[in-house]
Structure 1
């Protein structure tokens, strides 16, 4: 089934050391902590979330999954779509998670280093791979946003669609976690380049930002800090894009 048949606002549940955190521009040491992942997940589902965006931040930085217990508790606790990223480096890892109940696996570094992994997973679990393209100053970056790749996000998105990706997650690192507004241009470019859903992430601070990303062609938007800091509620966001 194609994800996001209608535009969605997707709450982020980013897990570090077993707790929900939000980082500024992905920098370790900038985190604000928001408690138990299951409590956060259940809160967002109660508020109407149809999808949750789960990230194992330690996994993203270390290259291997580090919060499997906390993530597993979330998967068991909720009955909505779950997309999971962070430290998923092999097709076997991805398949195990999909068989465990994850709806979509998010691949960033693994997909850049080994593009064929997208097809390997899609062969057995069609449409289940969301390729994460994180961009700094217009260039795709990997390894916890620490290494440049020279790749253009829109060109990369086209390539991964051809390889079998079911969706693209685009994170604008330049504005991520700063609650300072969004850049719509790169989202528009990527959405025009591919037929699969493009999910936008990074910088959302207001309901106007949510609407702007929808109007730029995003199929969904991931929101973290703005929700945790009470800038607006999930219900308000849903109403704003009805």
Structure 2
């Protein structure tokens, strides 16, 4: 279950970050585009969609697509990672936009006055300053993906096995807790085990928050 949680979280961040960071650069650095407000509106709409809707989309679209293209049942790590990537994309995008906009405009003006292009300014001036906060955005995205329960439960297959490939069914801490808590008897060994998993999930989430806190202190 730990391997499933960690693997699907890392895959989701790897899928989501390029799109999230590219979106953040477009919104914060491309001044003349009129489509920025529509892009921000689309991102805000993704934030408001319930997790069960993402799970339904995964069952209706992602799982059949993976089944027809890559074989297997379609339920597994890859389908879970794709759903989680869509879910954490707005979070990472929003925090990356804040990170880039937090760089003082005077730095950009000075760089441009010295002859640097817009992309040179972004690469050499803006990104080094915003890097710690971008790392915090990634950590918050990982924390959100690690703690997601309903959507990942619907598409990952919920097999308590060590996954061997991307299409392998697996289980996460949250999916096992969600499935088993309602059927366990309070005070039984099974119930105690589920509460132990919940405690482990809490400690890992706390670890993510502590790392983000120290990253922000480094930026300050």
TM range (shorter): under 0.3
From the two aligned structures, give the one with the greater strand fraction: 1
TM-score norm. by structure 1 comes to: 0.25
The structure with the larger Rg is 2
TM-score norm. by structure 2 comes to: 0.26
Higher relative contact order structure (alpha carbons within 8 Å, sequence separation ≥ 6): 2
